Amino acid sequence: MPELPEVETIRRGLTKFLNGVKITKIKILCDKSFIGPKEVAINQKIKAINRRGKALLIDLENGITLMIHLRMTGQLIFRGDENFAGGHPTDSFVNELPDNQTRVIIELENGTLFFNDQRKFGFIKVLETVEVENDKFIKSLAKEPWDMTFAEFKENLMHHKSAPIKATILDQKVIAGVGNIYADEALYYAQIHPSYATGMLKDAQIEKLLEGIRNVMQASIDSGGSTMKTYVKADGTKGDYLRLFAKVFRREGEPCERCGTEIIKTRVAGRGTHICPNCQKEGR
């Protein structure tokens, strides 16, 4: 599932190809995947591509915004003189399109943008740009890690004193954009056990945790996220972008970089969870 850094990577990639370009045609292959009247987006130039949490916002010059949620399996694949793809990594990144997972085709002056979504939980929604902030999804989001102060983070955390810290930071109303990968990585960074009670955290730990969330997300963005570039390496073999920055996620059985102890996979807050049992001792 694409997390905030992956969506930010897609935003940056698409900005390069779509900024200032006119949409000429929209073909909807699955009704569920496109909400609202497509006509208002036709013959309109793309003014900017923004992001709020995991939502991509394609702003058009006539005051319309196409809000895109990739959810579990969504992908955005641009084909033109140059190609770009991001989102859930599959062979659709490189295969001929449309394929049987293509839900919406957006024709542009300089190429075609395919919205693929195997499980159909993602969607594109037509909104007035001024209404974006009132959208129920956007409204419920807390600030992003880069915009949140220590005091705000602490206050939000302390609404969930008895909950395990991992569950608390996965709550998008506490801090926006932290998914399973980044929760594990940030807790490892801050040396906090994921099931530690939120209300027991000391200020120094909260500070370290916020720093960890920022650092691991930035490292992921810098690594190129889940895109065509990291999916297929230059030599044609398949890459795994997680290997570029993740210290514990999907590294069970490998030695901890800090202390050499074997990383284990456990379950916290109903989610698969990766920890170093030495650096992240229970009860701390």
Contacting residues toward Zn ion, per CB under 5 A:
256, 258-259, 261, 276, 278-279
User: Is residue 161 annotated as a catalytic residue, yes or no?
Assistant: no
List, as one string, the DSSP characters of 19-69. TTPBEEEEEES-GGGEES-GGGGTT-BEEEEEEETTEEEEEETTSEEEEEE
Nearest approach, Cβ of 191 to Zn ion (angstroms)? 8
The span from the CA of 183 to the CA of 209, in Å, is: 9
User: Is residue 3 annotated as a catalytic residue, yes or no?
Assistant: yes
Residue among 125, 265, 271, 277 flagged as catalytic:
271
Which is nearer to Zn ion, 37 or 255 (by Cβ)? Answer: 255
The span from the CA of 221 to the CA of 118, in Å, is: 24
Which is nearer to Zn ion, 106 or 209 (by Cβ)? Answer: 209
Nearest approach, Cβ of 280 to Zn ion (angstroms)? 8
User: Is residue 39 annotated as a catalytic residue, yes or no?
Assistant: no
User: Is residue 271 annotated as a catalytic residue, yes or no?
Assistant: yes
Nearest approach, Cβ of 186 to Zn ion (angstroms)? 15
Which is nearer to Zn ion, 190 or 279 (by Cβ)? Answer: 279
Supply the angle between the helices 203-223 and 180-190 in degrees, to the nearest 10. 130
Residue among 11, 52, 54, 229 flagged as catalytic:
54
Is the backbone of residue 277 left (phi > 0), alpha (psi -120 to 50) or beta?
A: alpha
The DSSP call for residue 262 is B
Which is nearer to Zn ion, 180 or 278 (by Cβ)? Answer: 278
Write out the catalytic residue numbers.
2-3, 54, 271
